[in-house]
Amino acid sequence: MDKPVIQLHDLSKSFNKHVVLDHISTTVEEGTILGLIGPSGAGKSTIIQLLLGSETADSGTATVFNQVMPNRELLGNIGYMAQNDSLYEQQSGRENLIFFGRMKGITKQDIPSSVEHVTNVVNLGDALDKRVSTYSGGMKRRLSLAIALIGNPDLIVLDEPTVGIDPALRRHIWQELHRLKAEGHTILVTTHVMDEAELVDRVAMLLNGHLLADDTPEKLKNKYHVNSIEAVFLKVEEENK
């Protein structure tokens, strides 16, 4: 039977009486790439914060690996890339990777090979020993992604990972995400890029506090009689105005 990695159960969250999540429930099985889409401000990052335990739900539960979050012990097995890069600017990319890798519990001995692997994934080799403060925005995104992937975590949570990343590298990153999925890793990714929403196993669309569509891209396109996820998204928005 498929193993649930993420379980959101009846999750609600408001900020200053503004209901952002209204009794959300879904399950993400092991080895699935779930794409979370929705307009700006729909609550995608809020779901991630509840999932990681850095925000508290008003009601309901977020469970990861069968443990109710927050649970600090699980964080070593979750790779997280936030929307805003949180990097040590005065250190080099390599020093950042070593620091975060060690925090994740990678041994000193294994650090060099782990750093090399994730650096290749994001194509950051040449800049690795330069100070992060000299990086472009896209390079910082790539370093943040490498940090999320270091240590080979079972669950990878990426909040708009390909913003500012050129098309060739974007394709390379998606190939890597599919490779990780094939190895059994579970990936939750938020995106505004509708082409990317075609590449996931399941798309969940967040609108007005609800998950209004949550299915494979193919099934959603069939259901709405359209040939792209972008068109599904527009139809669902139109229906729920």
Ligand X SMILES: Nc1ncnc2c1ncn2[C@@H]1O[C@H](COP(=O)(O)OP(=O)(O)OP(=O)(O)O)[C@@H](O)[C@H]1O
Interface residues toward ligand X, by CB under 6 A: 15, 20, 38, 40-46, 83
Please state, in angstroms and rounded to a whole number, the distance separating the CA atoms of residues 140 and 122: 11
CB of 200 vs ligand X, minimal distance in Å: 16
Please state, in angstroms and rounded to a whole number, the distance separating the CA atoms of residues 54 and 31: 24
Q: For residue 63, give the nearest of 133, 128, 4 by alpha carbon.
A: 4
Residue closer to ligand X by CB (options 40, 109) is 40
Please state, in angstroms and rounded to a whole number, the distance separating the CA atoms of residues 197 and 195: 5
Residue closer to ligand X by CB (options 20, 148) is 20
Please state, in angstroms and rounded to a whole number, the distance separating the CA atoms of residues 88 and 55: 24
CB of 55 vs ligand X, minimal distance in Å: 7
Residue closer to ligand X by CB (options 24, 121) is 24
Residue closer to ligand X by CB (options 94, 140) is 140
CB of 58 vs ligand X, minimal distance in Å: 13
CB of 84 vs ligand X, minimal distance in Å: 10
Residue closer to ligand X by CB (options 91, 138) is 138
Please return the burial class of 168, using the count of CB atoms within 10 Å of its CB with bins 0-12, 13-18 and 19+: exposed
Segment holding 20, helix H or strand E: strand 18-29
Residue closer to ligand X by CB (options 26, 83) is 83
CB of 119 vs ligand X, minimal distance in Å: 27
* Contact (CB, 8 A) for 64 and 4: no
Strands (E), 152-219: 155-159, 186-190, 202-207, 210-215
CB of 70 vs ligand X, minimal distance in Å: 16
